[in-house]
């Protein structure tokens, strides 16, 4: 009975209720959708970083990580690589000869990380090959002496073009420096400008020859794993294989990336709570109007024997219903919008530059875990309950005689 | 049988610096089955008296005993419960819950009393038939005339099987035909079911229907005539 009266009371002043409901829905659509965009962006950003650069797991000599010196390498890396490939859940492996050096053109010079790779293997690990720009060459398919792939950003910085020569200076195995010309046969671009500027890809065989290392040596082994596989169990299996090596997951490698997705969830929650609080004030205001309008009716209800508790709950239920209707509409619209853009993507043109700086993709596929809707439903009900307390207390303070006598 | 006993009842309102002595030392006994009108000029204290008898307002002095219970000793929540179980109210207006139908309004009190669904529905329909609204059980108040609304209020007041019904100017907003009609129904309920009615009024035609007429002025009983 109380519930049914409360529900019917919501629709007494249809216009006013609709305005509140629309406000709640719009507020929530705005909040939920932006949350999904943030979440989608963060997730795509993480995915992009893993796909293009860092992979799920990387292996180094601990000292190589510390000072990037080439001499701290993994010996017998082909054998080691085979062992890793045998671990269940490992999808692909690439072992790289990696040196830190200088890239220079007639115009300028910058420090770079030179990755000596086996292109066929590397294709199974990183997606740089997919990011070769149109009419900007190929991924090691063009025949050339000392071919190199560099990013568009580095090319721009050094004022180089496809088929230009790029001079790479790097240390050899005996500690001396070597300066060699490479030919740019491909230009790529990913969403992460920092990594783009830093990395150059050359054939492992070329780099081995020039540095004097064997091709069975590598400074870095990158590992991709299957979707369902457990990254931590694979990590520990690799560590067992050779305990002297440093085995790191992407979370270890780029802690900020892992952290940002955790922080994101909390931020989204805080963000939604703030929106609900703002809406809550609007609800309080509306319910105060409701109580004021119904002073006589509430007085009558008290007079004929409706207890204060019941009156309190009647107003609380009405507030909850009002909030929930708005909430359900808002969440439904959000779910539909998110569903649509999750498939079709949203492109934020104009913001490309800013997004890329942080390693975020320019086309975003918003997404939100279904659990967020449950949390939200709970929060909306809570908002209704909290928003009803003040108006309901106002109603309880009424004295039936005065309420019935009032002119309202 | 004595159902209400009012002893030396006084009510003083404090309005700023001024004290309004609205009821001055009223003694009164109401017997089961009375059909009593309280009359008097505007501001004479009728509403104040009825509100105190109904447990809606606290006397400044004096006591009200209903069925051997001194209601001055009840806590606010007990009083609410007491009103629900023992007293039927009909006000001048705003008697009904606008979002409920006539039948639901009558059922409402029985719901508060925790009566079963079947009992509620049966009694609500029976009461609405008694007040001549058997056809309008599913109408909302806004679809009913003022007179019909007051009849629903009477049915609602009866629903809890109260000891008596207090009606403060129940006909004030009604035209003469509706007034007569409502009074006829109240009188019939009084005659056939021995239901006690105490009502206040300004209207001479209403006064004529009463069997006992208590005239008050300036908070005091001027005359108390039983026909
Ligand atoms: N809450 C209040 N505060 C101050 N004075 C009040 C209050 N309620 C009633 N009074 C005063 O008490 C007196 C009696 O009022 P009451 O409403 O009982 O009269 P009444 O006989 O019902 O009049 P009416 O026929 O106009 O309804 C009046 O002088 C009125 O102004
Ligand atoms: Mg009055």
Confidence label for A358 from pLDDT (cuts 50, 70 and 90): low
Overall size of chain B counted in residues: 227
What is the residue with the minimal CA distance to atom 27 of ligand 1? B42
How far is ligand 2, taken at its centre, from the CA of residue A303, in Å? Answer: 16
Under an 8 A CB cutoff, do A300 and B95 touch?
Answer: yes
**Chain A touched by B77 (CB under 8 Å):** yes
Closest CA to A252 of A403, A94, A66, A56: A56
Tell me the CA–centroid distance for residue B168 and ligand 2, in Å: 7
pLDDT of residue A354: 66
Q: Specify burial of residue B62 (Cβ count, 10 A radius: 0-12, 13-18, 19+).
A: middle
Over 80: is that where the pLDDT of A221 sits?
yes
Tens digits of per-residue pLDDT, B8-19?
999 999 988 899
C-alpha–C-alpha distance, residues A351 and A333, integer Å: 26
Is pLDDT above 90 for A362? no
Residues in chain A: 408
Each residue of A6-38: pLDDT tens digit? 999 999 999 999 999 999 999 999 999 999 998
Ligand nearest to the CA of residue B40, numbered in listed order: 1
> Which of B9, B12, B13, B166 maximizes ligand 1 atoms within 8 Å of its Cβ, making it the mutation to test the pocket?
B13
C-alpha to C-alpha distance for A213 and A173, rounded to whole angstroms: 6
- Mean pLDDT, residues B18-44 taken together: 95
Contact (CB<8Å) A305/B95:
no
Residue A256, pLDDT score: 82
B36 pLDDT higher than 90: yes
Closest Cα of chain B to A408: distance in Å?
11
Q: What is the pLDDT of residue A48?
A: 85
Q: Which two tokens stand for residue A302?
A: 């008290």
Q: Kindly state the helix (H) or strand (E) to which residue B52 belongs, with its residue range.
A: helix B46-53
- Cβ of B94 within 8 Å of Cβ of A301? The answer is no
* pLDDT tens-digit readout, A59-97: 998 888 877 787 888 888 888 888 899 999 999 999 999
Of A297, A307, A401, the CB nearest to B97: A297
pLDDT, position A192: 84
Choose between B181 and A352: higher pLDDT: B181
Higher pLDDT, A255 or A274: A274
pLDDT, residue A43, reads 83
Structure tokens at A366: 């918003």
Q: Give chain A's mean pLDDT.
A: 90
User: Which numbered ligand comes closest to the C-alpha of B22?
Assistant: 1
Pick from B95, B119, B67: nearest CA to B173? B95
Q: Which of residues 29-58 of B touch A (CB under 8 A)?
A: 47, 51, 54, 56-57
Token code pair at residue A240: 């067992």
By C-alpha distance, the chain A residue nearest B99 is A8
pLDDT in tens, A164-208: 999 999 999 888 999 999 999 999 998 888 899 999 999 999 999
Say whether pLDDT at A359 is over 70: no
Could you give the percent of chain A with pLDDT greater than 90? 65
What is the helix (H) or strand (E) element at residue A148, kind and residue range?
Answer: strand A147-151
Cβ B84–A308 below 8 Å, yes or no? no
B residues 81..100 contacting A (CB < 8 A): 81, 83-85, 89, 91, 93-95, 97-100
Read off the pLDDT of residues B105-144 as tens digits, 9 standing for 90 and up.
999 999 999 999 999 999 999 999 999 999 999 999 999 9
CA A85: distance to chain centroid?
Answer: 29
In Å, what is the CA distance from B138 to each residue of B100, B106, B118, B182? 9, 11, 16, 20
Query: Which residues of chain B does A9 touch, with a Cβ-Cβ cutoff of 8 Å?
Result: 99
In chain B, pLDDT over 70 holds for what percent of residues? 100
- A15 to chain B, any CB pair closer than 8 A? The answer is no
The pLDDT > 70 percentage for chain A reads 96
Residues of B in contact with A401 (CB under 8 A): 51, 56-57
Provide the 3-class DSSP secondary structure of residue A114: strand
Per the prediction, chain B carries an average pLDDT of: 95
CB neighbours of residue B54 within 10 Å: 26
pLDDT for position A42: 83
Check whether A360 has a pLDDT greater than 80: no
Burial track A104-130 (b if 16+ CB lie within 10 A, e otherwise): bbeeeeeebbbbbbbbebbbebbbbbe
Contact B78, B103 (CB under 8 A): no
Task: Write down the pLDDT at residue B138.
Answer: 96
Contacts of A294 (CB under 8 A, 6+ apart): none
Probe site for chain B from A8, A301, A303 (most B CB atoms < 10 A): A303
Q: Which atom of ligand 1 is nearest to the CA of B41?
A: 25
> Does residue A216 contact residue A76 with C-beta atoms inside 8 Å?
yes
Task: Give me the residues paired with residue A95 across strands.
Answer: A221
- Which residues, 6+ apart, have CB-to-CB distance to A203 below 8 Å? A116, A117, A118, A119, A140, A146, A147
Which secondary-structure segment (H or E) carries A322? Answer: helix A308-344
Ligand 2 centroid to residue A302 C-alpha, Å = 19
Task: Find the helix packing angle between A77-85 and A231-241, rounded to 10°.
Answer: 140
Structure confidence by residue, pLDDT tens digits, B175-193? 999 999 999 999 999 999 9
Flag whether pLDDT at A255 surpasses 90: no
Q: Is the pLDDT of residue A348 over 80?
A: no
Residue A337's region, left for phi above 0, alpha for psi from -120 to 50, else beta, is alpha
d(CA A308, CA A312): 6
Within 10 A of A263 (CB to CB), how many other CB atoms are there?
12
Burial class (CB in 10 A: 0-12, 13-18, 19+), B19: exposed
Residue window 258-297, chain A: list those with CB within 8 Å of chain B.
296-297
Residues with CB under 6 A from ligand 1: B 13, 15, 20, 22, 40, 42-48
* pLDDT surpasses 80 at A406: no
Distance CA B112, CA B104 (A): 12
pTM of the model: 0.82
Spacing, Cα B163 to ligand 1 middle (Å): 26
């Amino acid at each position: 009975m109380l519930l049914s009266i409360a529900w019917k009371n919501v629709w007494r002043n249809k216009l006013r209720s609709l305005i509140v409901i629309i406000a709640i829905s719009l507020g929530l659509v705005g909040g939920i959708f932006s949350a999904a965009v943030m979440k989608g962006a963060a997730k795509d950003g993480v995915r992009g970083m893993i796909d293009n650069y860092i992979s799920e797991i990387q292996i180094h000599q601990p000292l190589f990580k510390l000072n990037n010196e080439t001499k701290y390498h993994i010996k017998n890396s082909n054998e080691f690589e085979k062992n890793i490939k045998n671990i269940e859940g490992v999808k692909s492996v690439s072992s790289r000869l990696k040196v830190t050096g200088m890239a220079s053109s007639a115009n300028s010079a910058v420090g770079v990380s030179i990755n000596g790779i086996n292109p066929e293997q590397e294709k199974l690990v990183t997606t740089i090959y997919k990011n070769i720009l149109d009419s900007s060459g190929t991924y090691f398919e063009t025949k050339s002496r000392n071919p190199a792939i560099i990013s568009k950003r580095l090319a721009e910085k050094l004022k180089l073009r496809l088929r230009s020569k790029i001079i790479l200076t790097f240390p050899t195995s005996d500690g001396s420096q070597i300066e060699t010309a490479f030919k740019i046969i491909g230009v790529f671009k990913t969403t992460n400008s920092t990594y783009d500027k830093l990395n150059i890809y050359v054939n492992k065989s070329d780099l081995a020859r020039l540095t004097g290392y064997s091709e069975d040596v590598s400074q870095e082994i990158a590992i991709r794993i299957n979707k369902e596989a457990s990254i931590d169990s694979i990590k520990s299996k690799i560590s067992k294989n050779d305990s002297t090596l440093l085995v790191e997951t992407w979370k270890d490698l780029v802690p900020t990336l892992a952290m940002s997705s955790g922080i994101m969830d909390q931020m989204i929650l805080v963000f939604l709570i703030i929106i609900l609080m703002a809406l809550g004030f609007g609800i309080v205001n509306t319910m105060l109007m409701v109580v004021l309008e119904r002073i006589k009716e509430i007085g009558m209800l008290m007079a004929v024997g409706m207890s204060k508790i019941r009156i309190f709950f009647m107003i609380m239920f009405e507030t909850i219903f009002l909030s929930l209707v708005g909430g359900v509409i808002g969440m439904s619209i959000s779910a539909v919008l998110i569903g649509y853009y999750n498939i079709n993507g949203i492109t934020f043109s104009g913001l490309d530059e800013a997004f890329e700086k942080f390693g975020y993709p320019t086309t975003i596929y918003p997404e939100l875990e279904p659990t967020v809707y449950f949390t939200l439903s709970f929060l909306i009900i809570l908002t209704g309950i909290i928003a009803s307390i003040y108006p309901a207390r106002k109603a309880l303070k009424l004295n039936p005689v005065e309420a019935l006598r009032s002119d309202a | 049988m004595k159902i209400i006993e009012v002893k030396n009842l006084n009510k003083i309102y404090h309005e700023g610096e001024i004290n309004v002595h609205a009821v001055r030392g009223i003694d009164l006994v109401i017997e089961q089955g009375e059909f009593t009108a309280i009359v008097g000029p505007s501001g004479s204290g009728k509403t104040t008296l009825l509100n105190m008898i109904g447990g809606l307002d606290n006397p400044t002095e004096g006591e009200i005993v209903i069925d051997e219970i001194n209601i001055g000793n009840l806590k606010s929540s007990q009083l609410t419960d007491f009103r629900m179980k023992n007293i039927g109210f009909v006000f001048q207006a705003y008697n009904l819950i606008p979002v409920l139908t006539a039948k639901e309004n009558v059922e409402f009190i029985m719901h508060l009393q925790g009566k079963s669904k079947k009992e509620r529905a049966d009694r609500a329909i029976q009461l609405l038939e008694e007040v001549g609204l058997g056809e309008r059980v599913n109408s909302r108040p806004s679809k009913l005339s003022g007179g019909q609304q007051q009849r629903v209020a009477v049915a609602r007041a009866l629903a809890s099987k109260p000891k008596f019904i207090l009606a403060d100017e129940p006909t004030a907003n009604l035209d003469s035909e509706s007034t007569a009609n409502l009074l006829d129904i109240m009188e019939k309920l009084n005659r056939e079911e021995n239901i006690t009615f105490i009502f206040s009024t300004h209207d001479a035609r209403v006064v004529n229907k009463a069997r006992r007429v208590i005239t008050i002025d300036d908070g005091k009983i001027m005359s108390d005539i039983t026909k």
